[in-house]
Amino acid sequence: MRALDIIRTKRDGHTLSREAIDAFVGGVTDGTWPDYQVTALLMAIFLKGMSLDEATALTQAMVDSGTRLDFSDLLRPENGSMPVDKHSTGGVGDKTSLILAPLAAACGCLVPMMSGRGLGHTGGTLDKLDAIPGFRTDLSVAKLRKALAATGCVLMRQTAEVAPADRRMYALRDATGTVESIPLIASSILSKKVTEGIGALVLDVKVGSGGFMAGLDEARELSRWLVGIAERSGLRTQALLTRMDTPLGRRIGNATEVREAIETLKGEGPKDIEGLSVTLAARMLMLAGLADEDQAERRIRDALESGRGLEKFRQIIATQGGDPRVIDDPSLLPVAERESLVLAPSTGIITRIDAGGVGRAAVVLGAGRDHVDAVVDPGVGIDLLADEGDTVSRGEPIMRVFYRDSGRLEAALVHLRTACEVGDTAPAPRPLVIETIDIRTAKA
Ligand code: URA
């Protein structure tokens, strides 16, 4: 099929056939479609939308543009009926993957988790793992299998063979104002998840200033598309919409978030991060067929309270070449040598710690990327010393900033000072999980 005819079809608001979508993705992958034709079609999709069938076909074609992993032969009865993973749309201070993956694996799940690097104010799991001395995420397929068979969980990076069509399309979307299309976002995310060879997926769709989607309506819409496409692609899926208007936990950065994940697995972490990790891991257990709703959370809590989750994390770190001594001695994790305190501007109650502002401060310090090629510093970050709702006195330290460069510190402090508000009234408690969307509710 000619590229021009495919572009005209979508430009005029018609549906693309499976054959047309395959021809498009084939042309993106082998380079026979030049950038101007790829972007013309992406813009037509952005403006005219797609049906669920078209977006599912696009996802499938992007998966087939690269290598698909298959770990089904590693499944034992104690692993349930399928490998399972969790994906988050990304947030500030979100280190749940480092907690829930060991917890789910300690309860029997087979978890092949592929993670990306952070971009913008949301952190990436891969950057956090890179902060653990020696930890390797760039394993060959043979080593991935070996690690997964040994521990029940492997934490890996996206290689060049994973959905290469998505990589080219995403770079072009980024440069042409076509990222914010729900069918394109959903198929892009899922092309990488389907590639993992999983059978079930828990999605954590963040809502709020620190997430990818600030508003509830658009997050709900994205969740419905994600669940719809994932189920049509053969993944048993649930999406949880969770609040991301304030940072998760108290540590934001890379090494500092690994530290908080270890504290949480020791039962000494903040309640929000512990609660969300347990909830998401319990959903993984349910979707993998290892527990029903009544037992799942209890089993995950047992793994947490008995220390089996912590031991599993130690095992995962050792198996992937990392230094497992970080579990007992987190001072082995990198930390920037200079510190600065942010002080409460007045006496009162902390009414808001804005996730978006804290996330932007972390990027400015070097904990995240403002462009794809930026180099991340594992040792810089922000520790919150007080939470929303706490009473503080003027001049009392409310944040500790770890930094290397004074210029970056000054810019970060501007964001941090505006992110934190002190007033008279404590904010009303808001549940972390806003709602759950599955295949039944996605159709509503
Ligand atoms: N994350 C992705 O992987 N793809 C998108 O299009 C947006 C966010």
Query: Does any ligand 1 atom lie closer than 6 A to the CB of residue 205?
Result: no
* Nearest partner of 135 among 147, 119, 150, judged by Cα: 147
Query: Does any ligand 1 atom lie closer than 6 A to the CB of residue 189?
Result: yes
> How many angstroms does the Cα of residue 181 sit away from the middle of ligand 1?
10
Q: Which pLDDT tens digit goes with each residue over 75-128?
A: 999 999 999 999 999 999 999 999 999 999 999 999 999 998 877 878 789 999
- 188 Cα nearest atom in ligand 1: 4
Tokens of 346: 């007045």
- 170 Cα nearest atom in ligand 1: 6
**Pairwise CA distance, residues 20 & 54, whole Å:** 10
> How many angstroms does the Cα of residue 183 sit away from the middle of ligand 1?
10
Amino acid letter, 231? E
Confidence at residue 117, expressed as pLDDT on a 0 to 100 scale: 82
Say if residue 382's pLDDT is above 90: yes
Tokens of 318: 């050792």
Q: Which pLDDT tens digit goes with each residue over 132-189?
A: 999 999 999 999 999 999 999 999 998 888 999 999 999 999 899 999 999 999 999 9
Contact by Cβ (8 Å): 236, 199: yes
Say if residue 443's pLDDT is above 80: no
**Pairwise CA distance, residues 404 & 312, whole Å:** 33
Confidence at residue 351, expressed as pLDDT on a 0 to 100 scale: 97
Buried b (16+ CB within 10 A) or exposed e, 15-53: ebeeebbbbbbbbbbeeebeeebbbbbbbbbbeeebebb
Query: Does any ligand 1 atom lie closer than 6 A to the CB of residue 225?
Result: no
Q: How many other β-carbons are positioned within 10 Å of the β-carbon of residue 424?
A: 7
> How many angstroms does the Cα of residue 215 sit away from the middle of ligand 1?
17
**Pairwise CA distance, residues 287 & 281, whole Å:** 10
Q: Which whole-number Å values give the CA distances from 271 to 96, 149, 249, 250, in the listed order?
A: 12, 32, 8, 10
- By annotation, the residues acting in catalysis are 87, 166, 173, 188, 192
Q: How many other β-carbons are positioned within 10 Å of the β-carbon of residue 328?
A: 11
Tokens of 323: 């230094």
Tokens of 6: 């495919």
> How many angstroms does the Cα of residue 185 sit away from the middle of ligand 1?
5
pTM: 0.96
Residue nearest to atom 1 of ligand 1 (CA): 189
Mean pLDDT (the chain) is 96
Q: What is the mean pLDDT of residues 319-346?
A: 98
Say if residue 444's pLDDT is above 70: no
Q: Which pLDDT tens digit goes with each residue over 353-372?
A: 999 999 999 999 999 988 87
Tokens of 332: 């082995």
Q: Which pLDDT tens digit goes with each residue over 390-425?
A: 999 999 999 999 999 999 999 999 999 999 999 999
Contact by Cβ (8 Å): 72, 197: yes
Query: Does any ligand 1 atom lie closer than 6 A to the CB of residue 282?
Result: no
Say if residue 202's pLDDT is above 80: yes
Say if residue 384's pLDDT is above 90: yes
Say if residue 31's pLDDT is above 80: yes
Say if residue 257's pLDDT is above 70: yes
**Residues in Cβ contact with 428 at an 8 Å cutoff, skipping those fewer than 6 apart:** none
Q: What is the mean pLDDT of residues 276-285?
A: 98
Torsion sign, CA atoms 20, 184, 25, 144:
negative
Contact by Cβ (8 Å): 382, 416: yes
Q: Which of 46, 88, 158, 179 to mutate to test the pocket of ligand 1 (most atoms within 8 A of CB)?
A: 179
Tokens of 421: 């508000």
Q: What is the mean pLDDT of residues 195-222?
A: 95
> How many angstroms does the Cα of residue 81 sit away from the middle of ligand 1?
28
Q: Which pLDDT tens digit goes with each residue over 53-73?
A: 999 999 999 999 999 999 999
